[in-house]
Structure 1
Amino acid sequence: MERGFTHDTHWAGERRSAIGVAFLLFTALFTIDAGLGALDVTRGLLWTGLAGLVFVILVPSRVSVRPGLLSKRGVLVADTVHTDSLVSVRWCDGVAQRMVLRDTEGSRVEIDPAVLIRNPAMWHRLDTDVRTSIRRGTLLSGAAALCELSERIDRETAHGVFKVSGLPS
């Protein structure tokens, strides 16, 4: 393993869940149609396509961090941003909260902040690179968003420590 390389440790489980949901949907639709005597090649292909679409929608992007880079690979798209030369970090609120990172080269990556919260090693690597961006003077906006995320990670970590130790949080 490359030194300093970390990735989302929960990704494989989430991918298995997406496969399971898509397979259960396919199996249910296929079984119902077969039981009703309505199954034919066209309907079989339709159910296969629908299950494939559900998988593509549910499978999470794989996020990884190494010194100077954060990468996000989805089913169809891969994006990378230079974390040691960030220009901005901002929150994108909506149905699912997202953090948008932009670098000096114009690259942009949008990630779920929960990935960083549940993977402290990824957060530590990103935080180290963000400090480099601040020191270089490239990070023009987003320090508040990063402080907010840092506080949230600290709260989650403290809550986890209290829970494991049996102390009330």
Structure 2
Amino acid sequence: MLLFVLLLIDWGAGSLTSVRGALWTGLAVLLFLILFPPRVTTGEGWLASRGLLRERRVRTDLLVSVRCLDGVSQRLVLRDVFGDRVQINPQVLVNNPDLWHRLAEDAHRSATSGSLTCGQTALRRVSERIDRANARTVFKVSGLD
């Protein structure tokens, strides 16, 4: 869509050439690659984040650490005993309670087995964020907002 708008504006201004068309196409492809959201999937004992070119997978039942990186975009970094690492946006967990439930269950299993040494606070923050979002939704649906 962006490419179509860019080409249409340039054509309307009368300055569209094959070189400018190639530049607009390159810009549109670059923006698509940068903004392409990773797809997060989970199963019993694992969580995977698949981007455009590769998939990263971590064993959630063998987590060693969970960290929350603050910045322009928040990231939750999960690391397992094998050294594998996955970064996900916590908003993905807020938007999909099934993913959160699976991750929380496996992280609890990691904590009870003793492998999760760092990350209880980060998980608690995400849990509180999800609880707040769910409470807001309940209040909005019930008309108590």
* TM-score when normalising by structure 1: 0.82
Q: Give the secondary-structure state (helix, strand or coil) at the position aligned to 1:146.
A: helix
Counterpart selection for 2:89 from 112, 133, 145:
112
Q: Give the secondary-structure state (helix, strand or coil) at the position aligned to 1:150.
A: helix
Change (3 A) 1:41 1:139: same
Q: Tell me what 1:16 maps to.
A: none
Per-residue CA deviation, residues 45-96 of structure 1 (Å, 9 max, x unaligned), is 1111111111112221101111111100111231111000000001111101
Q: Tell me what 1:98 maps to.
A: 75
Instruction: Kindly indicate whether residue 98 of structure 2 is the aligned counterpart of residue 121 of structure 1.
Output: yes
Unaligned runs of 5+ in 2: none
Q: Tell me what 1:151 maps to.
A: 128
Matches of 1:124 and 1:33, distance apart in 2: 49
Q: Tell me what 1:7 maps to.
A: none
* TM-score when normalising by structure 2: 0.94
- Give the partner amino acid of 1:37: G
Mapping 1:1-169, distance limit 5 Å: 23=1, 25-168=2-145
Matches of 1:36 and 1:145, distance apart in 2: 52
Matches of 2:13 and 2:96, distance apart in 1: 47
- Give the partner amino acid of 2:91: A
Per-residue CA deviation, residues 25-52 of structure 1 (Å, 9 max, x unaligned), is 2122212222233222222111111111
Count of aligned pairs: 145
Runs of at least 4 residues off by over 6 Å: none
- Give the partner amino acid of 2:20: R
Q: Percent identity?
A: 54
Unaligned runs of 5+ in 1: 1-22
Matches of 2:84 and 2:127, distance apart in 1: 23
Matches of 1:109 and 1:52, distance apart in 2: 25
Matches of 2:80 and 2:126, distance apart in 1: 19
Determine which structure has greater relative contact order: mean sequence separation of CA pairs < 8 Å that are 6+ residues apart, divided by chain length. 1
